[in-house]
Amino acid sequence: MSSSDRPEYVQQNVANWTRANTEYTDASAARAWAQDEITWGVFETPESELNLLGDVSGLDIVELGCGTAYFSAWLARRGARVVGVDPTPAQLATARRLQEETGIEFPLIEAIGEDVPLPDSSFDVVHSEYGASLWADPYRWIPEAARLLRPGGRLIFLCNSIVCALCMTMDGVGEQLVRPQLGLRKVEWPDTGEVEFQLGHGDWIDLLRANGFEIERLVELFARPDAETHSYYKYVTPDWARKWPADEVWVARKASTRRRRLEADRASPGRPSSARADVASTPNRGPANPKRG
Ligand SMILES: C[S@@+](CC[C@H](N)C(=O)[O-])C[C@H]1O[C@@H](n2cnc3c(N)ncnc32)[C@H](O)[C@@H]1O
């Protein structure tokens, strides 16, 4: 999909992430890339406490909405073969600069999470940290994630908690609900024109299951006692996030082909499962990593 064919919300979000790159992400990227520990969420809960990723060494991982690609760099340093995907050229330019400066190199692809130019069934993990997980339409990027994963592969993504999304105003996250959860999907911000996507837990579960995922974990992240307000993402305070979760991480596994056939048989008995759509059996479109061919 060429940049001009993208939905209008993407163009708006790319403009905002270009501005964010000038204001913050370019200048902060070197520090983020250099960080030894993997952390999660606005208040940086260490992976060593959460154990969401496990051993990633030797795994093929694609990050959808990689931004300046610091998370991909953390995974590459731990032995994963990563590919970063993002629609904002300025974010990718920063990621390329850091690749040159650090020598940690992996493919970077300019694309949206809703339409990824990579082959079917070619990754062990699809990951997103406030990338596609917040800025892409979930009803389009979750099917893409399912397509990209090998059977048994994991989808791991971090986004705002639903309670945070329901309490978020232009002045930050308050202690009152400010929008209905019923019908919530797209949130448009009148000041910047940014468009985010938020779902309640029931809708996430239905969407993930409809795309052949089994949900393994939902981890809600709170601020620790010593947490401080983030220098750029100031919309939520540690005080608030000691009472309610600021972010949440979902871990889901793409069911094996056999398991999905059994479920399909149960759903429509009498029809042979080979006659039904089976994502895992779609032809492989080529290698996952364009550089490794
Ligand atoms: C908060 S940053 C992601 C941070 C990232 N984890 C990192 O390591 O820098 C959000 C990113 O989402 C990207 N984005 C915006 N719309 C997107 C879409 N439709 N699909 C995928 N990514 C998108 C933006 O370009 C931006 O770089």
Distances (CA, A) of 14 to 7, 64, 96, 112, 170: 11, 14, 18, 10, 20
> Where does ligand 1 bind, in terms of residues with CB under 6 Å?
10, 13-14, 17, 64-71, 86-88, 91, 112-114, 129-132, 135-136
Task: Tell me, in angstroms, the distance from the centre of ligand 1 to residue 108's CA.
Answer: 13
Q: Is residue 189 part of a domain?
A: yes
Q: Is residue 272 part of a domain?
A: yes
Q: Which band of pLDDT confidence, cut at 50, 70 and 90, is reported for residue 245?
A: very high
Pair 124, 130: CB distance under 8 Å: no
Mean pLDDT estimate for the chain: 90
Range of the domain at 273: 3-281
Question: Could you identify the atom of ligand 1 that is nearest to the CA of residue 91?
Answer: 27
Distance CA 54, CA 250 (A): 14
Measuring CA to CA, which residue among 83, 213, 221 is closest to residue 156?
A: 213
Q: Within a 10 A sphere around the Cβ of 258, how many other Cβ atoms?
A: 11
| pTM of the predicted protein model | 0.89
Q: Is residue 230 part of a domain?
A: yes
Measuring CA to CA, which residue among 43, 44, 67 is closest to residue 173?
A: 43
Count of domains in the chain? 1
Q: Is residue 261 part of a domain?
A: yes
Q: Is residue 115 part of a domain?
A: yes
Distance CA 201, CA 30 (A): 35
Is the pLDDT at 272 greater than 90, yes or no?
Answer: no
Q: Is residue 46 part of a domain?
A: yes
Pocket test for ligand 1, best of 17, 148, 158 (most atoms within 8 A of CB): 17
Is the pLDDT at 106 greater than 90, yes or no?
Answer: yes
Q: Is residue 292 part of a domain?
A: no
Q: Is residue 288 part of a domain?
A: no
CATH number for the domain harbouring residue 34: 3.40.50.150
Residues 6+ positions from 220 with CB-CB distance below 8 Å? 161, 245, 247, 248
For residue range 152-196, list pLDDT tens digits in order: 999 999 999 999 999 999 899 999 999 999 988 999 998 888 999
Instruction: Output phi, psi for 213, to 5 deg.
Output: -100, 145
Question: Could you identify the atom of ligand 1 that is nearest to the CA of residue 65?
Answer: 22
Mean pLDDT of 247-255: 97
Task: Tell me, in angstroms, the distance from the centre of ligand 1 to residue 222's CA.
Answer: 22
